[in-house]
């Protein structure tokens, strides 16, 4: 924040106005400019200042912030080159999973692959079925965005989605429909659509060649080269994601879809799952206890109130407080949670290895210097029992007030 | 009122042990067979060559239901044969695995069959329960989540990995079992004739790309560790600490907000 504030140094301003001042040239020269290819160029002759012994000094670490310009603000705005397709004649449609409402890295790889198939008149369309929270369409390589979030597309609604895709196929000149071959939905939707069009799809495509693609076959033990097909299901890392261009992501609304609500498959909604039944390696939310837990009853209570799956460090397991199949780490289970709360765990390498796939780590520890805090996104320096008790109270209090507001 | 008796078919394919390469039962199809066991009268069906009867005995050895081969030529398309079979023989539920262990293993068979028979198909099924209105199905989603779905038979169900484990085959029962034989409808799969399988080559590990524009940035990327080091709070009261945690959990949607 601090370097956002403009500070004007009147002394330097005066030197800049006075062309006879010995430091005038040094302060007025613009050392940083944009080169012809959009690359930032620095002129080494123009930056820096004379040191006390007459030797030129360049202050790369920016320690001496007052020198240089009088307005102490260096902000080079990053501008990615724009990739605009005015009137496309051909389309490539990508159906991202939007697992958890956002583009996954798998989705972004597929978008990257879509651009490797595109020529200058091809627009990449992304279709977002249902609700989502994604905002970064432009940076992910989406030229046109079609958001279909009517009621009929919510939840598990393959029939409505297939109807919509068939109508898109009929009304636009689509070269390929690309799906991530993933259990988050792409594998199913893509195969349904391929069967609907009666076209043999590329499945588990992972290595693009000139006009073909290598696919995994025999349940992943063999390779099979297939020519590019209308419907393609692609593995993660099939291509690099887009990150150097900015795309329009303009809405595609010239399309009229008439999808009827007739469905043989009824989605009855999500089932409540006991967090203790979820396998530790895939659990989305883990509360993990180590040697710093003083009161295990509080720990178990906190896990059940928060709805978290329980994990443990090796010491907690060795001491008999937790079963062996709850141990997280190199000699235990490798977890992939979205949030991992480490309570009284110091963060030994063997433990940190096991949580390398975790998105967000919260540490509760009394020791500010332990390694877990270096890994954590949020650290609370306090006693484990106190914090767990406070958490339980807080959640229960909110549930009560929620119950009241529902009753009202 | 007793529920009406369902007829089910389980589609069985030949498996291949991932390391030894030995022929075995396909594990997913065995799970489907296991699930079929509690749904009523069942038949295990394989479209292929009768020479594979010995390998299919491992399914018969589960002592769930008889196993039958719908005999077709090597080059014939199993989808066409199965579709012709089911047009004559009605089945309330057709259970399949999600991916075969041999060949193209595109996982398309259940979807193509559903299309040609005009049946609804549901994937990632881990539990099936018969109700008066039809079937209640539990669908296994990633990260241990479950969804309830209802559908009226006839339908096709694709089994998920997380369905209950299949029982083992009993060797004696497998050896004693007779594998049935039916004449299948032959329609040549022309695309498949040109398929050329090779051993899977290794996927290279994706490298971290450094896209720094200036030398100073490249230097920084090469030397400074990417450790972010998050927010550290030393709360005055434990209440304050708990609130900070809860705030993050709500942002991630793991604790319901009010
Ligand atoms: C070959 C090998 C394999 C291993 N595999 C694993 C593995 O898979 N998984 C694993 O976890 N370990 C593994 N280990 C052990 C690992 O090296 C560590 O010993 C272990 O992870 C430490 O567990 P801990 O953090 O719970 O205990 P400690 O290191 O004792 O840490 C306890 C932490 O709790 C804090 N604390 C203390 N009191 C409180 C309080 N009242 N409130 C809050 N915080 C408090 C302390 O500050 C400290 O940071 C392995 C070791 C070896 C040699
Ligand atoms: N020849 C076959 N006979 C019977 N069922 C099969 C055959 N091939 C595949 N299947 C079924 O279809 C599922 C998916 O196979 P595939 O589409 O070939 O990957 C398998 O798990 C089997 O249940």
Task: List, for residues A206-221, the tens digit of each pLDDT value.
Answer: 999 989 999 999 999 9
Residue A199 has a pLDDT of: 93
Q: Is the peptide bond before B154 cis (omega within 30 degrees of 0)?
A: yes
**Chain A: nearest CA to B115, how far in angstroms?**
6
Instruction: State whether A226 and A372 are in the same domain.
Output: no
pLDDT tens digit sequence for A219-261: 999 999 999 999 999 999 999 999 889 999 999 877 788 888 7
The answer to whether A379 faces chain B, any CB pair under 8 Å, is yes
Q: Is the CB–ligand 2 distance for residue B12 below 6 Å?
A: yes
Cα–Cα–Cα angle for A159, A164, A169, nearest 5°? 125
Which residue has tokens 């065995």?
B30
Residue-level pLDDT at A71: 47
Please report whether residue A380 resides in a domain.
yes
> Are B244 and A362 spatial neighbours (Cβ–Cβ below 8 Å)?
no
| Residue minimizing CA distance to atom 2 of ligand 2 | B47
Q: Do both A377 and A340 map to the same domain?
A: yes
- pLDDT > 70? residue A61: no
Pairing label, strands A202-208, A212-217:
antiparallel
Answer yes or no: do A160 and A288 share one domain: no
Q: In what order do the strands lie in the sheet with A222-227?
A: A250-251, A144-148, A122-129, A90-94, A174-180, A231-234, A202-208, A212-217, A222-227, B197-199
| Residue with CA at minimum distance from ligand 1 atom 7 | A329
d(CA A98, CA A270): 17
Structure-model confidence comparison of residues B21 and B11, the more confident one: B11
User: How does the average pLDDT of chain A come out, rounded?
Assistant: 87
Which of A380, A393, A403, A404 should we substitute to test contact with B (largest number of B Cβ atoms within 10 Å)?
A: A380
Does residue A194 contact residue B111 with C-beta atoms inside 8 Å? yes
Is A360 in contact with B147 (Cβ distance < 8 A)? no
Q: What is the pLDDT of residue A401?
A: 67
Min Cα distance A94 → chain B (Å) is 20
Rounded to an integer, the average pLDDT of B46-51 is 94
Lowest mean pLDDT among A33-37, A367-371, B37-41: A33-37
- Residue appearing with tokens 């598990």: A156
Residues of B in contact with A386 (CB under 8 A): 238, 241
pLDDT score for B256:
66
Cα–Cα distances in angstroms (integers) from residue B76 to residues A61, A80, B71, B187, in the given order: 71, 53, 10, 5
Q: Which domain holds residue A27?
A: 2-79
Residue B231 forms beta bridges with which residues? A378
Task: List, for residues B204-217, the tens digit of each pLDDT value.
Answer: 888 877 777 778 77
Task: Clarify whether residues A128 and A99 are in a common domain.
Answer: yes
Judge if the beta carbon of residue B79 lies within 6 A of ligand 2: no
Nearest to A271 among B101, B124, B146 (CB): B146
- CA distance, residue A221 to nearest chain B CA (Å): 5
Distance in angstroms (rounded) separating the CA atoms of residues A189 and B123: 10
Q: Is the pTM of this model over 0.90?
A: no
Position A64 pLDDT exceeds 70: no
**Nearest ligand to the C-alpha atom of residue A366:** 1
Q: Between chains, do B18 and A390 touch, taking CB under 8 Å as contact?
A: no
Q: What would the pLDDT profile of A311-320 be if each residue is shown by its tens digit?
A: 999 999 999 9
pLDDT at A289 > cutoff 60: yes
**pLDDT higher than 60, residue A142:** yes
Residues A302 and A159 in one domain: no
Same domain, A293 and A357: yes
Task: Name the residue facing B107 among A191, A270, A271 (closest C-beta).
Answer: A191
- Report DSSP letters for A132-152, one per residue: -----HHHHT-SEEEEE-SGG
> Is A263 within a domain?
no
Tell which wins on pLDDT, A36 or B59. Answer: B59
Query: CA–CA separation, B52 vs A189, rounded Å?
Result: 33
Classify residue A258: in a domain, yes or no. Answer: no
Q: What is the mean pLDDT of residues B161-190?
A: 92
Q: What is the pLDDT of residues B93-113, one digit of tens each?
A: 999 999 999 999 999 999 999
Reference A270, options B46, B184, B146; nearest CA is: B146
Domain positions in chain B are 3-193, 230-258
The full DSSP string for A241-280 is PP-S-EE--EE--S---------SEEEEEEEP--GGGS-T
pLDDT in tens, A67-111: 444 444 444 456 788 888 888 999 999 999 998 888 999 999 999
Based on the fold, state whether residues A65 and A104 are members of the same structural domain.
no
Residues A364 and A339: beta-carbon distance below 8 Å: no
* Residue B152: both structure tokens together: 């009226």
pLDDT of B61 strictly over 50: yes
Cβ separation A282–B144 shorter than 8 A: yes
- CATH number, domain of A230, equals 3.40.50.620
Tell whether the model's pLDDT for residue A3 goes beyond 60.
Answer: no
Instruction: Say yes or no: A89 and A164 in one domain.
Output: yes
| Residue A161 to residue A99: CA distance in whole angstroms | 16
Last residue of a domain, one of A54, A79, A104: A79
Ligand 1 lined by A290 (C-beta under 6 Å):
yes
Contacts of A307 in chain B (CB under 8 A): 254-255
Instruction: Report whether A280 contacts A309 (CB < 8 A).
Output: yes
Lowest-confidence pick of A32-46, A181-195, A278-292, B187-201: A32-46
Residues β-bridged to residue A289: A312, A343
Write out the E strands in B108-195.
Answer: 121-130, 135-140, 146-151, 155-159, 180-183
CATH number at residue A332: 3.40.50.1220
Q: Are A206 and A214 in contact (CB under 8 A)?
A: yes
Greatest Cα pair distance in chain A: 86
For the residues A114-142, what does the mean pLDDT come to? Answer: 93
Q: Are residues A126 and A232 in the same domain?
A: yes
In a domain, A366, yes or no: yes
Q: For A375-408, how does the pLDDT look when each residue is reduced to its tens digit (9 = 90+)?
A: 999 999 999 999 999 999 999 888 766 655 544 3
Per-residue pLDDT, averaged over A335-357, amounts to: 93
Total domain count for chain A?
A: 3
| Fold of the B3-193 domain | Rossmann fold (3.40.50)
CA A114, distance to chain mean position in Å, is 19
Candidate from A20-29, A280-289, A297-306 with smallest mean pLDDT: A20-29
Interface-testing mutation among A41, A217, A310, with chain B (most B C-beta atoms within 10 A): A217
**What's the pLDDT at B34?**
95
User: Both A91 and A63 in a single domain?
Assistant: no
Comparing CA positions, the residue from B81, B52, B78, B89 lying closest to residue B67 is B52
What tokens does B164 get? Answer: 């209950």
Percent of chain B with pLDDT over 90: 66
Among B128, B117, B139, B169, CA closest to B36: B128
The protein residue with its alpha carbon nearest to ligand 1, atom 38, reads A292
- Determine, yes or no, domain membership for A128: yes
Domain identity same for A53 and A189: no
Residue-wise pLDDT for B232-242, tens only, equals 889 888 899 99
C-alpha triplet A84, A89, A92: angle, nearest 5°: 75
Q: Characterize the bridge pairing of strands A174-180 and A90-94.
A: parallel
Specify whether the CB–CB gap between A293 and A313 falls below 8 A. no
Question: For residue A388, what pLDDT is reported?
Answer: 95
- Range from A308-317, A327-336, B47-56, B249-258 carrying the lowest mean pLDDT: B249-258
Report d(CA A358, CA A352) in Å as an integer.
10
Same structural domain for residues A280 and A206?
Answer: no
Percent of chain A residues topping a pLDDT of 90 = 63
The pLDDT mean for chain B works out to: 90
In angstroms, how far is the first alpha carbon of chain A from the final one?
44
**Distance (Å) from the C-alpha of residue A88 to the closest C-alpha of chain B?**
30
C-alpha distances in angstroms, B244 versus A192, B68, B233, B249?
A: 44, 62, 9, 9
What span, in angstroms and rounded, lies between the C-alpha atoms of B64 and B43? 9
């Amino acid at each position: 924040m601090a370097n956002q504030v403009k500070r004007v140094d009147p002394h330097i301003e005066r030197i800049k106005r006075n062309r006879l001042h010995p430091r005038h040239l040094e302060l007025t020269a613009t050392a940083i400019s944009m080169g012809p290819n959009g690359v930032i160029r620095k002129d080494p002759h123009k930056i820096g200042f004379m040191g006390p012994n007459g030797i030129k000094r360049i202050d790369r670490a920016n320690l001496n912030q007052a020198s240089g310009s009088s307005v102490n603000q260096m902000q080079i705005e990053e501008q990615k080159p724009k990739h605009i397709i005015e009137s496309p004649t051909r389309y490539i449609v990508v159906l991202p999973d939007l697992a958890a409402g956002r583009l996954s890295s798998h989705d972004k790889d597929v978008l990257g692959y879509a651009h490797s198939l595109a020529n200058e008149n091809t627009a990449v369309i992304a279709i977002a079925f249902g609700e989502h929270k994604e905002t970064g369409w432009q940076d992910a390589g989406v030229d046109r965005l079609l958001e279909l979030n009517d009621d009929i597309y919510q939840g598990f609604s393959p029939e409505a989605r297939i109807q919509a895709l068939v109508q898109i196929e009929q009304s636009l000149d689509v070269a390929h429909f690309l799906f991530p071959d993933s259990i988050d939905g792409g594998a199913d939707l893509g195969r349904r659509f391929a069967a609907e069009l009666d076209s043999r799809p590329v499945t588990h495509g992972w290595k693009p060649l000139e006009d073909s693609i290598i696919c995994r076959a025999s349940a992943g033990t063999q390779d099979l080269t297939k020519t590019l097909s209308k419907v393609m299901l692609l593995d993660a890392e099939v291509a690099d994601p887009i990150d150097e261009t900015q795309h329009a992501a303009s809405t595609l609304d010239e399309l009229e879809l008439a999808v009827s609500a007739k469905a043989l498959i009824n989605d009855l909604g999500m089932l409540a799952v006991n967090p203790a039944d979820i396998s530790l390696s895939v659990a989305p939310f883990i509360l993990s206890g180590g040697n710093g837990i003083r009161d295990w009853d509080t720990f178990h209570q906190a896990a059940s109130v928060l709805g978290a799956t329980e994990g443990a460090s090796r010491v907690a397991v060795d001491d008999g407080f937790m079963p062996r199949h709850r141990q997280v780490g190199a000699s235990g289970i490798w977890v992939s949670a979205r949030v991992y709360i480490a309570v009284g765990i110091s963060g030994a390498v063997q433990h940190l290895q096991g949580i390398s796939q975790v998105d967000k780590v919260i540490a509760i520890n009394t020791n500010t210097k332990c390694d877990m805090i270096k890994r954590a996104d949020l650290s609370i320096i306090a006693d484990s029992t106190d914090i767990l008790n406070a958490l339980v109270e807080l959640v229960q209090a909110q549930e009560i007030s929620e119950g009241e507001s529902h009753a009202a | 009122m007793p529920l009406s008796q369902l007829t089910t078919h389980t589609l069985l394919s030949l498996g291949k042990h991932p390391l030894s390469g030995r022929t075995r039962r396909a594990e997913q199809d065995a799970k489907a067979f296991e699930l079929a066991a509690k749904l009523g009268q069942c038949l295990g069906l394989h479209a292929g060559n009768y020479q594979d009867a010995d390998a299919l005995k491992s399914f018969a050895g589960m002592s769930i239901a008889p196993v039958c081969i719908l005999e077709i030529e090597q080059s014939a398309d199993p989808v066409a044969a199965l579709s012709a079979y089911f047009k004559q023989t009605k089945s309330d539920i057709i259970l399949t695995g999600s991916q075969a262990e041999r060949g193209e293993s595109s996982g398309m068979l259940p979807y193509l069959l559903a299309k040609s028979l005009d049946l609804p198909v549901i994937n990632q099924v881990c539990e099936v329960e018969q109700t008066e209105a039809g079937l209640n199905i539990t669908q296994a989603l990633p990260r241990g989540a479950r969804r309830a779905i209802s559908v009226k038979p006839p339908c096709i169900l694709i089994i998920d990995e997380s369905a209950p484990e299949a029982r083992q085959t009993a060797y004696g029962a497998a050896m004693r079992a007779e594998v049935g034989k039916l004449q299948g409808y032959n329609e040549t799969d022309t695309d498949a004739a040109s398929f050329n399988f090779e051993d899977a080559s290794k996927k290279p590990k994706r490298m971290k790309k450094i896209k720094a524009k200036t030398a100073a940035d490249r230097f920084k990327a090469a030397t400074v560790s990417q450790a972010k080091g998050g927010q550290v709070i030393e709360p005055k009261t434990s209440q304050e600490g708990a609130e900070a945690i809860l705030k993050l959990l709500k942002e991630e949607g793991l604790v319901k907000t009010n």
